Structure 1
């Protein structure tokens, strides 16, 4: 198989990064969309298989550093019960998705959290995307300390009161989310930003089983995320502690909350920190104005990953991006990179979901090459992780790929049934019937190429 143009056509299906302007969302369709609970049923997140020693290292890196690289000197959280309210231009299904998230945070992380209509410690305000991006151009959603409304933030968007490093105990937080996004993007924003309001603030590329990773492969809170939040809010910790004080308590907390993480063979800890140069290359690759420039940055990130000797998500993601942006005349190299990325993710804790994103790309190549049995095998392997991670965009894309392969194999009735079944997931993930049909057309065009 050669990747060439089929890789270019299918890379958007990975939903790795939203376009700067966001998807075209038909709000009339959005109002008819189905909630994540109705689509996916009871939550079934993968439980973490990381060792407690690794999780302790992860928590310290997540909790005592910002995404910018600035260190946080003191542990901070809300102390006591937390109330949350929704305000602004609340989109359809936002209350349902928020209540489902709160139920998960209460049952899986043990948090004393409730939704109210009046004053609250956490406010989630929905703002039109264009309004949000005039002030914060690069963000799809974000969380801020010490403000309760968008107007309050807009009045002083650079004030020292917004500095997370200066906060010993959290008292007020504002989550800003888009009012005009797809249901999936709205849900994703609620999961990540509310979790960061209640827990660690950093994102780490080297942990594949968390929403706190800018590769955006995980879309809903994972078993790892819930354990981290449970640890972060444990009674033996308190606001104002130093990194060393928290670190000294983590082994006992994790032994209590995650006893299986202390069992079995201890794996080597992930190497840290991640050099800023690698992160810059990744961000440049995702944000470059041309495919050629994105490929150059992705290649630079891959060189750094290889020089560092990583065998974790950072190398896998570097390989994935190198394949994503590869020019048509490097199809064989891109295919090799995807296969290597899939193999790496298969060895990593929680690697099922990132690997499913890679298998989507591999299935696209198989479809373009007429290898329909391989399409069925790859999609069959990837659909369950897509479903368990509640990713409608990924799941519907896999279903449409599979339907196209079935059609080419003469199994017309199965293909049509699968396309009908994919539509609700596509509406959830892509926001409109037009976008869902566009995705179906892109997949069908692979055969012609």
Structure 2
């Protein structure tokens, strides 16, 4: 398994893609109700992917990974560590655009986040039956409340007119997602559509966050793609990772622990450490557009407040 490709976030307009300018004005209507999954026939390719991901989840759990306990007991961290992790995760990009394709190349970035309330809207392909839809909606709603408490920013789930779209699609639905993507993000670039429609199996899920080209780096809309072939824990892990990254934490760090923003697969769900990253990100003393160097002193100060004072005191 290619761990580096497990999760993917592209901050599209922040990379200078003029075609990804988000249009302001009335929200687009939601896609048609896909139904309850009755009569939907899973393709052999999609069935093979479901077996593949089930085997991966079982193997990772057997290896003591995909932990859901938050790492409080055995992974203490200091304010200095928290500040360093924030800088690497929030102020560096993991991917960049080259030759019409997104490639993995870590580069410094400006601080980006949402100013408008985040409205999470789930979109289900016909591959997702009613029972699974209800479970997914419950998980997304509960997670939205947790993210809002952690960040201090308004984050809710809505049945329509959302600005952060969470797509639950199988492989065949991804391959034909272009029309849906155009409706959700008018002006979306073909590079982003291609990335979603051809996502390799080593990429478990992805999120694409958009800001207006040439303007302040404030997110206006986002699209997360969750594979409907995933078993329950990987499915929930993808939701935790992609939605949190789409709030403004675009990178991963091998040093971040306990954290889901790490490709080692140790933790599957948002940890208290990650909640602290969100609290820093949405602290009003920071502003969109800050560079790593400009943000560093205030990030360190906020981290010390959150940890409890001394930079060498672990929590």
Give the TM-score range, shorter chain.
0.5 to 0.7
Task: Give the match for residue 84 of structure 1.
Answer: 120
Residue 243 in structure 1 maps to residue 253 in structure 2:
no
- Secondary structure of the residue aligned to 1:257 is helix
Contact 2:147/2:275 (CA < 8 Å) preserved in 1?
yes
Cα distance in 1 for residues equivalent to 2:310 and 2:230: 38
Match of 1:230 in 2: 279
Encode CA deviations 1:207-239: one digit per residue, 9 max, x unaligned: 231111112121000111111011111111111
Using CA pairs below 8 Å that are at least 6 residues apart, which structure has the higher relative contact order?
2
2:198 to 130, 135, 138: 135
- Count of aligned pairs between the two proteins: 220
Conserved? CA contact 1:255–1:262, under 8 Å: yes
Alignment of 1:195-206 (within 5 A): 195-206=244-255
* Corresponding residue to 2:145 among 94, 103, 117: 103
CA distance 1:44–1:107, change in 2 (3 Å) = farther
- Which shifted more, 194-203 or 67-76? 67-76
**Counterpart Cα distance in 2 of 1:49 and 1:261:** 14
C-alpha displacement at 1:120, in angstroms? 2.0
- 1:127 Cα deviation from its structure 2 partner: 1.2
Q: Is the 8 A contact 1:126 1:177 kept in 2?
A: yes
Structure 2 residues not aligned, in runs of 5+: 1-5, 8-45, 53-67, 95-103, 176-196
TM-score (norm 2): 0.61
User: Is 1:45 aligned with 2:82?
Assistant: no
Q: 1:73 to 1:263 in 2, by over 3 A?
A: closer
Normalized against structure 1, the TM-score is what?
Answer: 0.44
Alpha-carbon contact 1:64-1:243 (below 8 Å) kept:
yes
2:233 corresponds to which residue?
A: 184
- Residue of 82, 86, 91 corresponding to 1:59: 86
Largest Rg, 1 or 2: 1
**Contact 2:91–2:291 at 8 Å: present in 1 too?**
no
Tell me if structure 2 keeps the 8 A contact 1:111–1:230.
no
Query: In structure 2, which of residues 154, 166, 182 is the aligned counterpart of residue 112 of structure 1?
Result: 154
Q: Which residue of 201, 219, 230 corresponds with 2:268?
A: 219
Alignment of 1:17-28 (within 5 A): 21-24=48-51
Deviation at 1:146, TM superposition (A): 2.8
Task: Describe the SS at the equivalent of 2:148.
Answer: helix
Judged with a 3 Å threshold, the aligned counterparts in structure 2 of structure 1 residues 237 and 264 are, in CA distance, closer, same or farther, namely: closer
Task: Return the structure number with greater strand share.
Answer: 2
CA RMSD of aligned residues (A): 3.3
Task: Label 1:49 to 1:111 Cα distance change in 2 as closer, same or farther (>3 A).
Answer: farther
Contact 2:120 2:155 in 1 (8 A): yes
